[in-house]
Structure 1
Amino acid sequence: MSDQLGFDTRAIHAGTPPDPATGARQVPIYQTTSYVFKDADHAARLFGLQEVGYIYSRLTNPTIGALQARIADLEGGAGAVCTASGHAAQILALFPLMAPGKNIVASTRLYGGTVTQFSQTIKRFGWSAKFVDLDDTDAVKAAIDEDTQAIFCESISNPGGYVTDIPAIAAIADGAGIPLIVDNTLATPYLCRPIEMGATLVVHSLTKFMTGNGTVTGGVVVDSGAFDWSASGRFPSLSAPEPAYHGLKFHETFGNLAFTFHGIAIGLRDLGMTMNPQAAHYTLLGIETLPLRIGKHVANAQKVAGWLEADPRVSSVTYAGLESSPWNATAQRLYPNGAGSLFTFTIQGGYEAGVKLVDGLELFSHVANLGDSRSLVIHSASTTHRQLTEDQQIAAGAGPDVVRLSIGLEDADDLIADLDQALAKATG
């Protein structure tokens, strides 16, 4: 869809013309495993990647395809591949890039599950990660070696809500000839479009703000289509002959859609991280209201964070939308529509007070999720970041005295009143 149309218009229309079979205006849920071929030649062309179409819903599905097209449009990418979860999207993004002995440079400020995935799980593939504070660009450059295949960061980090200077990191990745992968879950393309700032790949947990209602899990990898996978011998999965397709070279054959086709033809085929059609349908519905929701999320977060910062029972607030934040200038420059609605604060009284606060809240829901229409709370050190060492927790912005808030769409004054009474219980 034309970029001349506004974001709000594309959030409703991109990738979803009326259904060609029935004229249905809303995207139907194609709840099917397989599709009838026209004839034997048609089947052979599809399996040989000589024709685009539908074979089996582990690979392609019309409902999921509509969601992929919409997200690629909103992110400014050439193509997208949806997955069963955000974690699945991260592995799918790395899969064509990595090989045993290869590494990535990753931000220290990542979701705890991602830190575990990168520090522990990927070792089973023979991959590794070097964790670096991305605010220290010299350290980022120093961490890159001949086996580094990518840099990974979050646009707005979980749990602290810190913002990343994506253009600065993209320049380093470009200079090293490697892709920059940005997790844009907390910002969404409404607040941040990493590809326009130089990112190669964008990943999301669609479970969060993109769907926005806490109903389904999902993930996506969006390819900018701008990276030259054949410029060096660093990425043979995309540039060298593929044995499973009689020597086909993905980049040579598919050009700016090479990564997207590889994600489907190899990634989904062999790893099976497929999104289900009903989840895609719910996410499409959620994206229709994304601009309205994110604007309210941000306004509420700004008001709640400001109130917390002024409260003497609170030691600190990490929200980048506050003028006191070290990341405020970066947020003003790169995230003009707001710094999201997830942040942390530290409470007077440490770990025990943090746990009491969570237990004392009544309107906030205590769940292991974020990006819901409801306001959510969690004590990261005892839950989402529990598997990390205390040093890792502190580096990730999830120390023992830290409480994470995901601000929803309720009346901000009601949220403040709930925090006020819970703080009284926790610190009284």
Structure 2
Amino acid sequence: MHDDAMDSAPTGVPNSVRHHETVVDSPMEHDITDGGPDMVQFVDGEGNRLPTSAANEAYAQIVEDMTSEDARSMYRDLVLVRRVDAEGHALQRQGELGLWPSLLGQEAAQVGAGRAMRAQDYAFPGYREHGVAWCRGVPPENLLGMFRGVNHGGWDSNEHNFHLYTIVIGNQMLHATGYAMGIQRDGDVGTGDDARDAAVMAFTGDGGTAQGDFNEALVFAGVANAPLVFFVQNNQWAISEPNYKQFRIPPYQRARGFGFPGVRVDGNDVLAVYAVTKAALDAARAGQGPTLIEAFTYRMGAHTTSDDPTKYRIATEVDIWREKDPIKRMRGFMTTKGHADEAFFDAVDAEADELAARIRVACQQMPDPAKPHMFDDIYVDEHPVVEQEKADFIAYHSSFADAEGAR
């Protein structure tokens, strides 16, 4: 380990500490903040480096190999992603966007996972993965344009290897599985060539695990040994439904029934998420098949700006999770270990202000698209039905202009 590498911690937790299967029956029988001893974690809520344990030992070397620059870069991503999210929420409240699904509290889960991907890997998001989009190079303005309703999704999927947002809950899991099976059949798995071997990541929330598409995807991925990582962000609430009304056992334990590994990671610990995701993606690219990662985190805000979480959850629950904040945690760790100073943190905050101002102006100045544009780019080749619908649409709206002119 070179001088600039992140400090490792001493061992001390016996290997005999294991977590029995968790059966979630009611809120009285389950601490919503407790991920259990199976959960992979490297930094606690105060930023303290945790000792090596049976849960995190397999991933410890990945963290130890990371440098101070890696830590600073990840922290920057966390702060800038949160600021993009805050601007999206504010712009919706000011009438500039039709809707905004906040990721507040889930920044570490998304940045850690996104940073673990290689350029040739492909991501299939739901509709809250703004942090993964950031890591894949999708400009935040494109996200705002989508929720403003002025584009066809906002970005070129193949340019960023980041699929368009999927609003149908769980549908992206099947898309990802099919794509991963295609990579496998193209021979881009298990060659030993780091520049060629590829994997796929599919993102959903805990609510998505109840969908048929999710479970069908796990069946196909397991049977096909597809190079795929299922990334479940368990933020504790499927809109207004808590975990105990969604499933009997945690998502990560369900993977075993489909024939591949499941791992629970602290979704508010960006180092742990990065390490676990990197290991899973490396295994997938090497031809070892799928992994299901459950990032144990919390949705600090509303499901979307059309939701009121005060109707179904209590403020004290949010306050408890606020103490586990991913940015506060990473900053505490970096300060304690000397990975950054106050000047660095101030510079990141200033950059966040500049980013916020830029995307706000860009959003407000976005022009409305020409009405017929909605018919473009639906199929690769021209489609006679779509072309006729477009012609009829243009003629219909032109008739109003003609009538106006006749007056």
TM-score normalized by the length of structure 1: 0.32
TM-score normalized by the length of structure 2: 0.33
Q: Higher relative CO (CA 8 A, sep ≥ 6), structure 1 or 2?
A: 2
